Structure 1
Amino acid sequence: MQTNVILSIKNRTISIPYPVAEREDSPHNGFIPLKERPDEVPAIPAVEDNDALKQALTMINDSTTPFFTVACRKSFNSTDGSFWARGYLEFSFNYIEIAKDSPNYFLLFEQFNRHVLASNFDLPVDFKFELQGANFTDITADGYTACVWITTAEFPTMEGAYKTWNQSVRFLADFLSGFEKPPLPAIYEG
């Protein structure tokens, strides 16, 4: 099997929403709430030239899912004739009763790993789930997010890296969009 699914815990806490940050390497507009707002997705700089990421944000933030996206990023790279892609989708449960307990993310990770195996998803790519603390300032509560880094192996062409990364993003989005929202108070609504 070429696909690796990895879990790690990052010992830091982020605030959501977070402010605009000046970066030379990529535009960063700060947190934009996309839950139930598909018309806002094109405003995210990372999706301007990537339909797979645009579709993923729309799917994960759909009104029927229990998640909202926190951030995303992509990078298509080359070195010495080798090409690879790397980026992430960060999301949270949209319900503080679920988002506040880290075991809910561990269960989600385990379910994703099983989904990879059951689907025979066998591309040269790593899915690295980074669990980290989050301070949801709009509701004055603490919880967690999951930042899923998607990193391809090296390819002889950029087309191979691009195709594998996009398929992997779609696979993750399909998985997350398959969950139904619970009857609980939401953190973000449209």
Structure 2
Amino acid sequence: MPARRSLAVVLVAFAVVPAGGCSDRKGPPPASAAVPTWDGKAEQEDALRSAEQALNASEIEDSARVDEGMAALPQGLDRTFAAEGRPHTFDIACQAPGPRSITLTLDQGTARSEWEVTCGDLEADQFNIPSGVRFAARVPPMGPDAQGLVLWRFNAVDPGDVSGCEDDIEGCED
């Protein structure tokens, strides 16, 4: 029996010593725990091209571009638009150096809808906006250390080209 107790004490000691040693580590966290970042301008340019390709993939043929732009994730997006004359789409694509999603809020008067947009998708998220409304598109700022960008387009489309719900702000009943 004393041999078994001694063995148990030795095993417990070996289990505790490495755990205690890990808690005393100084310096930066291991690379696997670090937040992904872009390594220079080339990766940012690739991200911009990928976002443009995602917007192109979702664009409706014969749509008329009314406005477009880009926002950095640290600053977010806060723009107001007017859908005059015919229905429009608001298309948005996000790129970041690692897995991330953003929250897009569309506001029209008292109506509000929130959407999760996943960064890195091959096709932009597209939202239908009816004719004759003013609305705001918002993505909250992600903080000064966030890396990533959002590209968006606001396009006028023919009424026959609207598929699904005609108003993604007010919503539609199924």
Is the structural similarity TM-score above 0.5? no
What's the TM-score once normalised by structure 1's chain length?
0.27
What's the TM-score once normalised by structure 2's chain length?
0.28
